[in-house]
Amino acid sequence: MKKILITGGAGKIGSHFISQNKEKYDFIVLDKKRPIDESVDYIIGDLSDVDVLSKACKGVDIVLHLAGIPSADTPFDLVLAANMLGTKNLLDSMLENNISKIIFASSAQTIEGYEKDIQIDETMPTLPGNYYGISKVFGESLLSYLSKSSGVKAICLRIGAYEFPEDFTEMNARDMSAYLHPDDLNQLLNKCIESIDTFDFEIFNAISNNTYKRLNITKAKRLLNYTPQYNSFNLFKLKQ
């Protein structure tokens, strides 16, 4: 059974992934708060504490890096500390503990600067629309560098508008086009975990099978056999 460290594992994405996979993987959560499922091993702390990171990385096979400030309007000094320096600290600890595999929660905000009627694929240059997006571009770039320099195997998922359908009845056009159902992300995370040995460094767009797709998911379908089951245009009303 693979041992997986989930940074930020007490949040929405980590909690849902753990709930559907705790019999499949051996999880350890690193977060500033306790996980919803306290039967899972966890460590209270954050990415600024190198001693906590070293403890969390012991015996780990794969890191699922979800931790960070997720808000698009976060000031630069906050994303610098939490998202950029925190990611660098985590990767330093991984290398010190001989961990070579990571799945990084990047974001559709890495390309948010493009006009809304343009569909984005992974070959297009990044064009972040805010400091949060810049921090995710930094994470992708750092992992690309470490893949070449240190043999780190990394998959970056550009996660779209991740929401549970029961929490909304309508969405604006942008969020509907970038919508990602939690179960579709769980499928994608499983496929990344099981196939990461076959990649050195890859970026995949991560949204559901929406009628109009802000992000092109052809690459994930082809290389990961990703088969998203949900369509935002069947789940929500368009917010006027």
Q: Which residues contact 185 (CB under 8 A, 6 or more apart)?
A: 13, 16, 17, 157, 159, 162, 206
Q: Which residues contact 159 (CB under 8 A, 6 or more apart)?
A: 13, 105, 106, 107, 108, 180, 185, 206
Q: Which of 131, 132, 162, 179 is catalytic?
A: 132
Geometric angle at alpha carbon 164, from 163 and 165, rounded to 5° = 110
Establish whether 132 is a catalytic residue. yes
Other Cβ atoms closer than 10 A to 12: 16
Other Cβ atoms closer than 10 A to 57: 21
Geometric angle at alpha carbon 52, from 48 and 57, rounded to 5° = 110
- Cα separation of 111 and 103, whole Å? 19
Length of the chain: 240
- Cα separation of 133 and 112, whole Å? 8
CA atoms within 13 Å, Cβ hemisphere of 228: 25
- Cα separation of 99 and 233, whole Å? 40
User: Which residues are identified as catalytic?
Assistant: 132
